[in-house]
Amino acid sequence: MANLFLICAAGIVGLVVARWVKSRTKTDWIDLACVPWLFVVSIVVEHAQHQVYYQSWRTGSCSLLLAAGLGIACARLVFVIGLARFWPRPGPLGFPVKRVFWSMLVGFVAGSVQSWAIAEGQWPTFLQLKAALAGWYVQEISATVMQEAVYRGRVMDALRLRIRPAGHLIACQALVFAAFHVPGMLRRHETYPSFLAALPDLGLIFLGGCVAGILRYWRRDLWAPVAQHAVYNILIQTMTFKV
């Protein structure tokens, strides 16, 4: 768990350095230079998170799983706060309190429709939703908050400086978001024996990133894509639970 906090701290240090460089040179490219940095840090954070959580999962202890989920959520929160405070170009991250209800409602509907379409009209049963432990829900929701803060937040804002057409901007950030999932998918050799085997699911991730990008562009905040992402992940993944 300590490694997870160290990785998040290293990511924040990189942002602090980038902010210092921008304050000294007044360059516009430093925001874009932070995109590959965030890409690498977010991949390493997710890898460390999976190691922590699934090692706890093997123990079969619900209390240990909840503790792991809360610890992972805290580490991610630290990184999100770093994104908000130390990004080179000052500006809000995208979580205005006044718009939380309607934006999350829009995101909830979008995530539900998306998961219903992908699952061909099926929904998880109550027993499947109940089978998911509290620690799993905590780490899953915290994952969506961090990923949206990175990809629909700072990455999309940085790309906006260079990519003007909205359609191109949404497609580019979705492509970066899909690429973020590649290392994690290729670690699951049984499900994805090769990169080609992962392409159909990467296509679905790309489409999900486009939906989240559209919500971000339309609502001008991150509440909607966070709700869409969390609802979609929870509904789709709980349908795989055997109860």
pLDDT on residue 171: 97
Among 113, 38, 111, residue whose Cα is nearest residue 79: 38
Domain residue ranges in the chain:
2-238
**Does the pLDDT at position 61 exceed 80?**
no
Buried b (16+ CB within 10 A) or exposed e, 153-162: bbbbbbbeee
Percent of the chain predicted with pLDDT > 70:
99
- Residue 146 CB-density burial (10 A; 0-12 exposed, 13-18 middle, 19+ buried): buried
Average confidence (pLDDT) over 58-62: 75
Q: Please give the pLDDT value at position 57.
A: 73
pLDDT of residue 194: 87
Q: Tens of pLDDT along 90-144? A: 889 999 998 899 999 999 999 999 999 988 888 888 888 877 778 889 988 999 9
Q: What is the pLDDT of residue 76?
A: 94
Element (H, E) at 55: helix 30-59
Higher per-residue pLDDT: 1 or 83: 83
This model's pTM is above 0.85: yes
- Other beta carbons within 10 Å of 34: 24
Looking at per-residue confidence, does 1 or 181 come out higher?
181
Confidence of residue 242 (pLDDT cuts 50, 70, 90): low
Q: Calculate what percentage of the chain has a pLDDT beyond 90.
A: 60
39 close to 183: Cβ distance less than 8 angstroms: no
Angular region, 87: left φ>0, alpha ψ -120 to 50, beta rest: beta
Whether 27 has a pLDDT exceeding 90, the answer reads no
What is residue 53's predicted lDDT score, i.e. its pLDDT?
80
**Model confidence at 40: pLDDT above 90:** yes
The 10s digit of each residue's pLDDT in 152-163 is 999 999 999 889
- In the predicted model, what is the mean pLDDT of the chain? 90
